[in-house]
Structure 1
């Protein structure tokens, strides 16, 4: 009798998915090349199928999927021309193409922002901010829900990782619930955890630097349209939508989950103790707050008071945080806590998107999928609604918004450029779709922050989906409404 360790079934399942991904890639390459698609474009579509399976099945880590993607691309592209009339590529040429993403300034911005998240964690400033907010909002279902939203917003200004933000907030929310003498699985516990996860996705859409998928989308838009959005332009464009989504989340969570709060004196005392245990603000925290506020001012005034872009100002801020005496951490401390796999995945995603665009594969795929919807003569707001619904349905199979952005945005760009509205309107359509990439509201598996909150056991999948479906439908309606009213007046569409 052969004994099987507990980890073997999982390993076998991952191996099976990995082999399926490779087989699908090989099968796409062996198919006859469709009319209108180049041989290199066919390779790009094969790579797209490969990484979609890798990302959805999570059979390998994000960094490993990037390595597999690069290796498969080099083998597939060798001997083929990248564009019509170009010379066939060698392995070096193909590798250079797949390393394009690593030279993007957006990758440097993501890495720098992750260092900022590490600084907040090392100094404990993220915990201090969250505790101070929760201790001041008051103890009632409505006030605690608003407090969770405020914490999510403040941390989203400075921490670009949804996982890091939610990871910092979860222990505090659990502490609030238990301080009231309630189990984590109570209606209040479920409400605070679901709101923490959902509001994280909302503020991913609100703030340019809050999520890597925003930056990867803007990178593609810069390459295709020759323009981008400053931090302030993104924030102002997204503001009416995200504020409306916060109101919807507030009402829906209170109505559907009906959180209950017992007498509040014990909770107030416990929260006061937690704040007291933090002690006075340390010199390192003061320095970090000064740098963080400086960055926020520089980001929000980009292109107005100064000519420095978001990436440059972020790098200057990180340099200050790493300087002796002035800074709050050393390189040795920071590098151990930065999720480098996220950076590698981000760069590989950009490389794939560039390949889809340059080979014409994105345009071909857009024409045979979105092009069949007959949206050419449709009002812009209905186009936005149809494309958003397409993105939302596709998101149900993705756990990585970065992966979804890498897959979806090049296709959206190619399709938007075929519409008879002009390049400015096409840019606005794609910008809205880059926000929809963060619509991970329905299932716990749709976003890492959802899974972190789900792991606490505070809520069931049904509770999460009940709130998420209403939030998603409301969001879809708001997208159409604002695309017909506010956004055209703002010059977005």
Structure 2
């Protein structure tokens, strides 16, 4: 089937799905607006699956159809749900990413870790994973992965160096960098666009607020465990050979000889540190919230004497398609909530689990999301579609909603299964250094082990976070 025929076919399927929800009998416990909200959700997903139009355009079409079909009162009301705090937080978060990328700080961090870990091939793999994870806490997972992959590939694929690195070592690094980038995104609310989106949805559905510091109390240990477990699994599975002195020198030289920190880099460090301190203080200072801190920090980047970013540098960093898509999804999520469609789905599909123990429910959630994530190229669509229903289930079963949110954050972001699907893995997968089977070989058992571990430790970590 050619591309045009495929797009037209999926467009017809999407239209048929929406028509079915518009004219089918309404089940008990749901009304027609709720039925149409669910139909528009499936309509949107079908458009995505067939690449009928770009994802942001599909989202905008759904926003138009919400008031046209009577799901929301007006387009103006729908747009208000689009422009939420998530929108402005994302704009500021991408400014932080652009500022960090605009410096040599990531390369300096990599060089420092390489000096610490010396010549052990296994520790060098860990160094690349840790560096990508640390940088990913303040910039997008995709950007962090692309940054460190470029540094490594400049050595691995440089014929002028005359080096033949061990294939098992290259395999470990090329898989490890995406894992580190994904894991680092769990550590902080700004580490991934999914995290702050979930916090906003948690507040909308449950009225529960989670501070920046509370998130880190849970997210940092989870990120560290993810990196260390991924590293151990890679080394046990592939057993990378030791590096020669020439290979080690080549890896170090890729980080460059950068000299002392520049004034601009000192200002970048100072601003990021100040923002982290203020984010933590949002728990104790009334009137100060995470979005406000992010926006203040973004403004400071552009003021005279700071000049940490130009507007062109910032514009190139912002993935406007993601920003628009998430805004549209937030508007759709609001419609699903206001019509009661989410409660109906939660009761219909998950009601049978209400008598399960908390461990079983959280494990089931994590396993379902992990499996779904293996076939969806990014986490935000999963997060927006599933978070309200998962939070509703938590409330009905007496589970702390933050446990559910962190389960979503872990398994909607990090995956050890099919790299050819994930947008972030594709940065290294397409270079041909590893196969889908290589990832599945260690990824399946690692996923099962971490499902058990994370399900067990989340409740005590969440309890600690809410006490502090």
Pairwise same-fold verdict (TM > 0.5): yes
Distance of 1:10 and 1:201 partners within structure 2: 31
User: How far is the alpha carbon of 1:63 from its aligned partner?
Assistant: 1.9
| Alignment check: 8 A CA contact 1:130 1:172 kept | no
Find the counterpart in structure 2 of residue 67 from structure 1. Answer: 60
Q: Distance in 1 between matches of 2:286 and 2:177?
A: 35
Whole-angstrom CA distance in 2 between matches of 1:143 and 1:350: 42
d(CA) in 1 for partners of 2:166, 2:209: 44
Q: Is the 8 A contact 2:195 2:409 kept in 1?
A: yes
CA deviation vs aligned residue, 1:180-234 (integer Å, no higher than 9, x gap): 8655892111111111112222222222210111111111101122122111101
Q: For structure 2, list consecutive stretches of 5 or more residues without a partner in the other structure.
A: none
Q: How does 1:52-451 map to 2 (within 5 A)?
A: 52-77=45-70, 82=72, 89=73, 93=74, 95-159=75-139, 161-177=140-156, 186-263=167-244, 265-278=245-258, 280-304=260-284, 308-371=288-351, 374-419=352-397, 421=398, 425-451=400-426
1:132-189 Cα distance to aligned partner (Å, 9 max, x none): 4335432322211220122123202221x11111111101222454588655892111
CA contact (8 A) 1:157 1:296 kept: no
Q: Secondary structure at 2:416's aligned position in 1? A: coil
Give the alignment's Cα RMSD to 1 decimal.
2.6
The runs of 5 or more residues in structure 1 that have no matched partner are 1-7, 83-88
Residues 491 and 40 of structure 1, relative CA distance in 2, 3 Å threshold: same
Q: Give, in whole Å, the separation in 2 of the partners of 1:58 and 1:173.
A: 32
Is residue 452 from structure 1 mapped to residue 427 from structure 2 by the alignment?
Answer: yes
Displacement of 1:35: 1.6
- Which stretch has the larger CA shift, 230-239 or 330-339? 330-339
Distance 1:184 1:404, change over 3 A: farther
The Cα shift of 1:386 comes to: 1.5
- Give 1:31's aligned residue: 24
For 1:174 and 1:134, locate their aligned partners in 2 and report how far apart those are by CA, in whole Å: 16
Mapped partners of 1:147, 1:60: distance in 2: 40
Equivalent residues of 1:162, 1:448 under 8 A apart: no
Which whole-Å CA distance do the structure 1 matches of 2:252 and 2:184 have between them? 28
Shift of 1:25: 2.1
TM-score by length of 2: 0.91
Distance 1:53 1:137, change over 3 A: farther
Note if contact 1:204-1:211 (Cα within 8 Å) is conserved in structure 2. yes
When normalised by structure 1's length, the TM-score is: 0.87
- Alpha-carbon distance in 2 for matches of 1:193, 1:276: 20
